[in-house]
């Protein structure tokens, strides 16, 4: 039988009590605290890529990924831990019918910046988050993908350097590649991108844009700290490099997160991007951007030439939904479901994954990120997982040079059963490869 020194046990209770994980009740014993901070002790020392990644313009794999890649591999009955899509709201059809009845706007063209009612509603949401914006700074876009593309094509020319976090959202890597920009990938840390390296590269390469997913980062799930946000903005101002802040997972935090960097932006260095894809449904294609200062007009013109405006029907559905009051309820339900599934996934990972694995503990969003020992053949594991009906994203598409980083992104927006099954199969695979 296992021999454990009594002092070790007492020490363990002391540590748990000091962390607030348990509380002592005189005469009754120890109780698990309801205030427990889940798995805080599992927060890894996080460094997906140690070095800055420099990527010259080259091939673009985003199209493959969307058209023949992971999307095409999705089959009914699979456990999909790859793409994170929220559960659609129950009453969306009803809301859509109402929107259609009121949509006399369908019979005419509208403003490129979007319908005023919707812009007012989005502005209100953003003001609530601490942003100093008005309807005059807002453009409704075809998903946030269009907003990112409009901003990038506005600020960057072919051959310019652009800073991104490494890892980062692959859709932006693809836009930069299609434009012929040169990419500098600055390693992420648990506080946000490495600012020392950022400053070094701001100074040496004079990039034209910094792209950051400041809150509930895709793919790592990390949130840039308040202090880091302030320093990042100060550096951007000092080196006169605009920031593109992508807050695609806005509203999906189940723990407090700092206000967006845009809320600190007094001198119009930050362009802010958000979306309803993660909180309502991606198929409506309604996103938005906040552009302050001289850039607004130019970006709006570009938007007009692209597609005139976002579907008035889609805009009316979102607007109707926001007005109905269901949105808040839907968001709090989503958050409650997501925190539960995050915890189930963390527990499963802790149980099934090899001890060499390190993972992030996100404050919301849809993903967490698992890092594995350097020599593990992650592509092979991803393929083998697929043959067992488990779909995941391995780390490489999230890095500008798309090298085989030993990491994976897992979405916890799934049923408890699927999470448990998926993680146990993945855990067995990882252990098998590690023991080779």
Residues that bind ligand PMP (CB under 6 A): 143-145, 169, 171, 213, 218, 246, 248, 275, 277, 282, 287
In angstroms, give the least distance from the CB of 246 to ligand PMP. 5
21 vs 284 by CB, closer to ligand PMP: 284
287 vs 427 by CB, closer to ligand PMP: 287
Give Cα separations from 262 to 146, 233, 243, 245, 416 (angstroms): 19, 9, 9, 7, 36
151 vs 213 by CB, closer to ligand PMP: 213
In angstroms, give the least distance from the CB of 18 to ligand PMP. 37
Give the residue at shortest CB distance from ligand PMP.
143
Query: Where would I find the H helices in 138-255?
Result: 143-155, 170-179, 195-205, 226-238
Task: Report the interhelical angle of 170-179 vs 143-155 (nearest 10°).
Answer: 40
How does DSSP assign 203-226, residue by residue? HHH--SEEEE--SS-TTT-----H
352 vs 405 by CB, closer to ligand PMP: 405
In angstroms, give the least distance from the CB of 330 to ligand PMP. 17
123 vs 149 by CB, closer to ligand PMP: 149
Q: Which class for 75: exposed (0-12), middle (13-18), buried (19 or more C-beta within 10 A)? A: exposed
Task: Report the interhelical angle of 312-324 vs 92-102 (nearest 10°).
Answer: 120
In angstroms, give the least distance from the CB of 2 to ligand PMP. 45
48 vs 171 by CB, closer to ligand PMP: 171
In angstroms, give the least distance from the CB of 421 to ligand PMP. 24
In angstroms, give the least distance from the CB of 21 to ligand PMP. 33
SS3 116: helix
Strands 79-80 and 390-391: parallel
Query: 93: left (phi > 0), else alpha (psi -120 to 50), else beta?
Result: alpha
Cα 431 versus chain centre, distance: 28
In angstroms, give the least distance from the CB of 216 to ligand PMP. 9
SS3 262: helix
Query: Where would I find the H helices in 79-133?
Result: 92-102, 116-128
39 vs 313 by CB, closer to ligand PMP: 313
In angstroms, give the least distance from the CB of 284 to ligand PMP. 9
167 vs 427 by CB, closer to ligand PMP: 167
Beta carbons of 143 and 315 less than 8 angstroms apart: no
182 vs 278 by CB, closer to ligand PMP: 278
In angstroms, give the least distance from the CB of 283 to ligand PMP. 9
253 vs 348 by CB, closer to ligand PMP: 253
Cis status, amide bond into 219, omega within 30 of 0: yes
Beta bridge partners of 390: 79
In angstroms, give the least distance from the CB of 221 to ligand PMP. 11
Task: Report the interhelical angle of 416-434 vs 326-352 (nearest 10°).
Answer: 30
d(C-alpha 87, C-alpha 336), whole Å? 12
242 vs 365 by CB, closer to ligand PMP: 365
Rounded to the nearest 5 degrees, what angle is found at the Cα of 331, between the Cα atoms of 326 and 332?
A: 105
Tokens representing residue 191 in the block: 């506080």
φ, ψ at 24 (rounded to 5°)? -90, 135
In angstroms, give the least distance from the CB of 41 to ligand PMP. 28
């Amino acid at each position: 039988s296992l021999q454990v020194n009594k002092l070790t046990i007492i020490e363990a209770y002391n540590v748990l009590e000091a962390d607030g994980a348990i509380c002592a009740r005189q005469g009754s014993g120890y109780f698990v605290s309801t205030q427990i901070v889940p798995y805080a002790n599992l927060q890894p020392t996080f460094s997906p890529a140690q070095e800055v990644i420099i990527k010259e313009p080259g091939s673009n794999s985003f199209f493959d990924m969307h058209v023949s890649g992971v999307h095409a591999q999705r089959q009914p009955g699979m456990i999909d831990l790859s793409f994170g899509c929220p559960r659609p709201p129950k009453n969306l059809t009803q809301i859509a019918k109402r929107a259609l009845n009121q949509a006399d706007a369908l019979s005419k063209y509208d403003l490129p910046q979007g319908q005023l009612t919707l812009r007012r509603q989005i502005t209100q949401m953003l003001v609530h988050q601490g942003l100093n914006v008005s309807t005059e700074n807002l453009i409704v876009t075809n998903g946030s993908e269009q907003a990112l593309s409009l901003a990038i094509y506005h600020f960057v020319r072919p051959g310019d350097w652009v800073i991104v976090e490494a890892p980062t959202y692959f859709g932006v890597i693809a836009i930069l590649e299609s434009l012929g920009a040169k990419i500098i990938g600055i390693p992420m840390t648990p506080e946000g991108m490495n600012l020392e390296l950022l400053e070094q590269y701001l100074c040496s390469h004079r990039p034209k844009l910094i792209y950051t997913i400041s809150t509930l980062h895709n793919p790592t799930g990390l949130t840039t700290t308040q202090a880091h946000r302030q320093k990042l903005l100060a550096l951007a101002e000092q080196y006169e490099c605009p920031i593109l802040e992508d807050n695609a997972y806005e509203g999906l935090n189940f723990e407090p997160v700092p206000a967006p960097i845009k809320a600190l932006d007094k001198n119009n260095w930050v362009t802010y991007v958000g979306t309803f894809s993660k909180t309502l449904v991606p198929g409506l294609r309604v996103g938005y951007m906040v552009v302050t200062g001289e850039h607004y007009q130019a970006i709006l013109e570009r938007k007009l030439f692209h597609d005139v405006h976002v579907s008035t029907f889609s805009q009316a559905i979102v607007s109707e939904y926001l007005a109905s009051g269901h949105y808040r309820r839907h968001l709090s339900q989503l958050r409650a479901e997501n925190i539960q599934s995050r915890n189930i996934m963390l527990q499963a990972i802790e149980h099934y994954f090899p001890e060499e694995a390190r993972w992030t503990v996100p404050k919301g969003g849809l993903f967490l990120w698992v890092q594995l020992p350097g020599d593990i053949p992650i592509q092979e594991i991803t393929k083998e997982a697929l043959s067992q009906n488990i779909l995941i994203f391995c780390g490489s598409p999230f890095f500008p040079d798309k090298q085989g980083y030993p990491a994976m992104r897992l979405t916890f927006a799934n049923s408890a059963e699927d999470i448990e099954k998926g993680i146990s199969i993945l855990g067995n695979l990882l252990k098998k490869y590690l023991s080779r």
